Structure formats: C-alpha cells, structure tokens
Amino acid sequence: MGLLLTAAKIYIPQFIQQRKLAMLMEATAGAFRAAAPTTRGLSYGASLKLYAEFTREQAAASIQQGNELIVQSRLFQNACRIGQQFKKDFDICSSWEMMEMGRLIYSLLKIGFQGDNEGNIVIDRCFFSAYYSSSVCQLISSLDEGLLWGLSGGGRLRFTQRITEGHECCRAYLEAPGR
C-alpha cells in the first residue's frame, strides 16, 4: 500500500476534507448544470448536509423533467475523473487498495463502506439515506458508479439492494475491469 494511502487512513485534516467535498459539490453541480452552493464559513457537517439537500433537490427536478438519463451520464463522467485522480494521486494498484480507498472516501461522506477483493460491497449506514428517496438515490448512485470505475480502472458497479428501498443495508458488486 502506498505511503499516502497509509497516512490518509490515519488522519485527514479538516481543510482537506472540506476541499474534497467542495470538489465533489462542483462536479455534481456541473452534472446538473447548476451553480454549486457555497460552503464558505460552514462546518464540514453543515457542508455535507447542504450537499445532501442540494443533490436531493437537483435530482428530483431532473427526474420530474425527464432528463435523468442525461444527468446520470454526466454524474458518472464527472465522478470517473475524480476516481481516476484519486487512483493516480494515491497510487492505487490492487483491488484491496481500491477498496481501502473507497472505504476512506465514503467514510468522509458518513457512509459505512466495506468491500472485499472479490468485488462485494456492503454499505451498512448512509448519511444520505435520510435525505434521498429511492429514485433520487438511484440517480445519485451514478456518482458511486463513476467513482469506483475511476478508482478500479474500469470496473462496473451494480447495486442489488439499497437502504432507500427499505433494506437494512446497500449491497453492490464491482465487476473487475475487462469482464
């Protein structure tokens, strides 16, 4: 495992957490073709809540307007770039490192992410499930698909169940690149 990933597992300064959330906010807002709300002066927790509310409103509007497929594609593409950047910055080389990076990223978003080397993923808690309906979650999950595609170098994520559908956890499978 790379030194940077090892260090990040121990501690990530608040200003870096805030910066990464702002990066996600910009990428998400860009996919919706909306201005990102400002988080200046907000705590990390308040910024995360604002992100949840913003994404819920934007996704619901996209669904209502019938353009969720276009937005889904843009969310995926923007998150792919983020995942690829993390893969490069943290020198992610193995499926284990990729799952560890996923766990780290999702923990910053108050999501309990657990993944194994076979590609099985369980999310046992999700901050966003208190904000999202099932349809909003499905649309926003394009971010998850893109992020993990970028981190893994082309793996395809498929959810089999979601908390927002009434299940106690989310389950997904990340198919290895090239399969």
Instruction: Confirm whether pTM is higher than 0.85.
Output: yes
The predicted structure's pLDDT at residue 4: 55
Measured CA to CA, the distance from residue 89 to residue 20 in angstroms comes to 13
The predicted structure's pLDDT at residue 177: 84
Out of 1.10.357, 3.30.1380, 3.20.20, 3.30.160, the CATH code matching 3-175 is 3.30.1380
Measured CA to CA, the distance from residue 40 to residue 18 in angstroms comes to 10
95-98-99-105 Cα dihedral, nearest 10 degrees = 180
Spell out the domain ranges in the chain. Answer: 3-175
Residues in the chain predicted with pLDDT less than 50, given as ranges, are 5, 7
Helix intervals (H) in 33-109: 44-65, 68-89, 95-108
